Structure 1
Amino acid sequence: MRSIWTGAIGFGLVTIPIKLYSAVQGSELDLDMLDKKDHARIHFKRVNENTEREVPWENIVKGYNYNGKYVVLDDKDFAAASPEKTQRIELFQFCKESEIDSIYYETPYFLEPDKSGSKPYALLRSALEDAEMAGIGSFVMRNKEHLVVLKPYKNMLIAQQIRFQEEVREPEGLKLPSAKTGVTAAETRMALALIKQMTGTFDIAAYKDTYSAALMKVIENKAKGKKLPEPKLRVVHKQTTDLMEQLKASLGGGAASKTAKKKKAS
């Protein structure tokens, strides 16, 4: 595993040297884009719009269009905007993690201490566990500021990236029903019964990316020249527009009973 950022955690006057690692990886299949005619791979090139010639990476710089004229920025300029944030995850608040709305959550990162930071790292980890708190901080990586929640996870500390408030859009223009639009008391009781029937202890290990596995089977069959059957959606029960009938069917032999069977099987 290779670190993607090196710096330190700022905890009051305590400095904890750390390395940051990506904690997630995609489960989807790696598909290449091909030319339909000869199946040659498609490459994207960085082309100068004036000369239409390809530009090598070492000749590419970043710039901001300021009043119609580009201001070119280099690494020193990015660091000068906030030298501290390019080198430190500065913790400026502690709170209960439950206070943070889930809509703000993004990417998680593993944090590994340097040898000199092992003791303060362990101290912060145990203090957060005992206090049942999370630390809020920010840092700059790849020329962008990230807001993070620092919290214990298993035997380590992780930094869970969260969005800034201005990055979450307001749901303007959406046509949404009011809280109780046309919902009867009987339908509510039936829905609650369905929820109760499908309630269980959450176990993330029980859920797999089954689509990627199924797609891999399609790929293997096509590679062997096997003719694939036409896909058909299986109708579980006759569809009805009556909400109460849908709820009754769900409770009697639909989604709820399927979930129960899966739990017993596992």
Structure 2
Amino acid sequence: MRSIWNGTISFGLVSIPVKLFSGSEDRKLDLDMLDKHDNQRIRYKRVNEKTGKEVVWGDIVKGFKKDDSYVILENEDFEKANLKKSKTIDIEEFVNQDDVADVLFKKPYFLEPQKEGSKSYNLLRDALKKTNKLGVGTFVMRQKEHLSLIGHYKDALVLHVIRFTDEIRDPSELKLSKTKVTKKEVDMAISLIENYSEKFNLSKYKDVYNDQLMKIINDKAKGKTTKVEEVNVEPTDAKDLMAQLKASLEARKKKKAS
């Protein structure tokens, strides 16, 4: 793996030099965009809006439009905006893991200690494990400030980039129903949830979509048609809700007993 950010984690007066690595990877199939008339690849070009000519990467700069002209920004300008946060993740406080809403999480990154930071790295990791706490800090990467939580995953420190408040939309804008549910229905749903409850095991969940899509690609290459299972997408009618909950609970109990 190649590190995407080098810097320092600090908490109190302790500084830990670290390297940041992506903790996840995109498993989408690499599909090309083609012209449907002759299956030739479509290429995207960076074109000057005025001249219509293609511009090479080396001649492209970033600018902010102010009034009728642009202010051009160089790489050093982005670092100057907050030089400390470009190099340091300051843990400002620690919070309980359970206090953080899942909707905030965006992407995990693994942290690796640089040679001189091994002991302090292990110290922070072990302390977080024992307290079930997360460190809250901000830093700058790729010309953007990120809010982050630092915790542990197995034997590594993991940094979760989370969303700022103004990045979360207000769910009150959704058209949510105020239909009442009975206590009996809620109790039955709770019983169903309890019967489906297991200790979380990440390894049992597999991304099968790519495999299925690859099978379709292979079948099409051979001139074959892939058989597809029909899926019932009928919504459960309100008057059938209790009956469906009971049937689900009975089916689950039978499966667990077998």
Which whole-Å deviations, capped at 9, do the CAs of 1:85-104 have from their partners, x for residues lacking one? 11111111112121111111
Which whole-Å deviations, capped at 9, do the CAs of 1:51-88 have from their partners, x for residues lacking one? 11111111111111123321110111111111101111
Q: Secondary structure at the match of 2:225?
A: coil
Query: Which deviates more, 211-220 or 119-128?
Result: 119-128
* 1:171 paired residue number: 171
Q: Secondary structure at the match of 1:85?
A: helix
Distance 2:75 2:231 in 1: 56
> What amino acid sits opposite 2:102 in the alignment?
S
Matched, 1:123 2:123: yes
* 1:153 paired residue number: 153
Question: Structure 2 regions of 5+ residues with no counterpart?
Answer: none
Distance apart, 1:234 and its partner CA: 4.6
* 1:246 paired residue number: 244
Distance 2:247 2:7 in 1: 56
Q: Secondary structure at the match of 2:180?
A: coil
* 1:78 paired residue number: 78
Considering only aligned residues, what root-mean-square deviation do their CA atoms show, in Å?
A: 2.4
Query: Which deviates more, 125-134 or 70-79?
Result: 125-134
When the two structures are superposed, what TM-score results if normalisation uses the length of structure 1?
0.88
Distance apart, 1:153 and its partner CA: 1.7
Distance 1:127 1:71 in 2: 46
* 1:22 paired residue number: 22
Matches within 5 A, 1:124-143: 124-143=124-143
Matched, 1:212 2:241: no
Distance apart, 1:124 and its partner CA: 1.6
Change (3 A) 1:19 1:235: closer
Distance apart, 1:193 and its partner CA: 2.5
When the two structures are superposed, what TM-score results if normalisation uses the length of structure 2?
0.91
Distance apart, 1:111 and its partner CA: 0.6
Distance apart, 1:37 and its partner CA: 1.2
Matches within 5 A, 1:4-153: 4-153=4-153
Residue of structure 2 aligned with 1:183, choices 177, 181, 184: 181
Distance apart, 1:160 and its partner CA: 0.8
